[in-house]
Structure 1
Amino acid sequence: MKKWLYPVIFLIIFTFSACAGEDPHSNSSMPEFVDVEILMPDEIEVGETVQIQCRVTQGDETVNDADEVEFELWKDGDPDDQHQEIEGTLEGDGIYYIDYTFDEPGTYYVISHVTAREYHIMPQKEFKVVE
């Protein structure tokens, strides 16, 4: 009885080890994540028109083909329904922007909502508007 047991065990081990090879569906060259950096001054004067930008990249490549770039702005303490959402314009070299004038001093926030190359990125930045 032991004579047939060893070949069966060997056959089972051999079969499972052959199936444990590299997964043909695995993607060893997965694309790099899309990165978004908000570019703007940390402090802005009331009444000053400022350009708020975001730079969109994927690895070393600039992304000029984003599906959506939208800037969401609000003053600290404002309810969600008072957030302003403004579509960004492509300047080139992965830079998208809006021009905006702030009428009141205070602490503000901006989120750039970027959908590009099957990723959705939402970096946020806090800044001050002063008199």
Structure 2
Amino acid sequence: MKKFLWLGLPILLLAACGTGEADSSGAGDPIEEVMVSFNTDTQADPSEEVVLSVTVTQGDEAVEDADEIVYEVWESGNRDNSEMITAEHTEDGVYEAKTTFEEEGLYYMQAHTTARSLHVMPKQEVTVGNPDPDSIVSDDSEDSQGMGKMEDHSGH
């Protein structure tokens, strides 16, 4: 029995090594992921205008032709009342919009990004002022929750 095991093991290993090559042949070049990096500081002062900013790239190339970038902004624990703010392209793959956080608190900004037939939705926290830690509610909302607002917003 042990002889069969030792004879079968190399065949199994060779078969496993070959399947990866067979799957990737003829598939063409893989699509490079669209990457979204936040430029916005994670700290802000209440009632001060803040520039929401991201840089969008694909591989080593700045994405100058994104279909749409909309920032969804909400205070912790209050995603149902988020605000959608359309970003404008500035230069070198940078897309910006402006907002003002009126009150101290923990806020989230999510950059709903559609570029080159791909959609990504990175999220970043912004702490405004010195909020009371007891007032902060962790964000357990699903990222897909904002998609309905994206669809409603796209008609504007």
- TM-score, normalised with respect to structure 1: 0.77
Q: Distance in 2 between matches of 1:71 and 1:86?
A: 5
Q: Report the counterpart of residue 102 of structure 1 in structure 2.
A: 101
Q: Indicate how the Cα distance of structure 1 residues 116 and 79 shifts in structure 2: closer, same or farther if over 3 A, else same.
A: closer
Q: Indicate how the Cα distance of structure 1 residues 60 and 100 shifts in structure 2: closer, same or farther if over 3 A, else same.
A: same
What SS is found at the alignment partner of 1:92? coil
Q: Distance in 1 between matches of 2:76 and 2:24?
A: 50
1:39 is displaced (CA, Å) by 1.4
User: Letter of the aligned partner of 2:84 in structure 1?
Assistant: E
Q: Report the counterpart of residue 35 of structure 1 in structure 2.
A: 35
Q: Report the counterpart of residue 49 of structure 1 in structure 2.
A: 49
Matched, 1:26 2:27: yes
Q: Which has the higher contact order (CA 8 A, sep 6+)?
A: 1
Report the aligned-residue RMSD: 2.0
User: Letter of the aligned partner of 2:105 in structure 1?
Assistant: G
Sequence identity percentage: 36
Gaps of at least 5 residues in structure 1 are: 1-20
User: Letter of the aligned partner of 2:63 in structure 1?
Assistant: V
User: Letter of the aligned partner of 2:113 in structure 1?
Assistant: V
1:24 is displaced (CA, Å) by 7.6
Q: Report the counterpart of residue 75 of structure 2 in structure 1.
A: 75
1:51 is displaced (CA, Å) by 0.6
What SS is found at the alignment partner of 1:115? strand
Gaps of at least 5 residues in structure 2 are: 1-21, 131-156
Deviations 1:48-75 (A, max 9, x none): 1111101000000000101110000000
User: Letter of the aligned partner of 1:93 in structure 2?
Assistant: D
More helix by share: 2
The runs of 4+ residues in structure 1 deviating greater than 4 Å are: 21-25
Q: Report the counterpart of residue 18 of structure 1 in structure 2.
A: none
1:31 is displaced (CA, Å) by 2.6
- TM-score, normalised with respect to structure 2: 0.65
User: Letter of the aligned partner of 1:85 in structure 2?
Assistant: M
Q: Indicate how the Cα distance of structure 1 residues 23 and 89 shifts in structure 2: closer, same or farther if over 3 A, else same.
A: closer
How many pairs does the alignment contain? 110
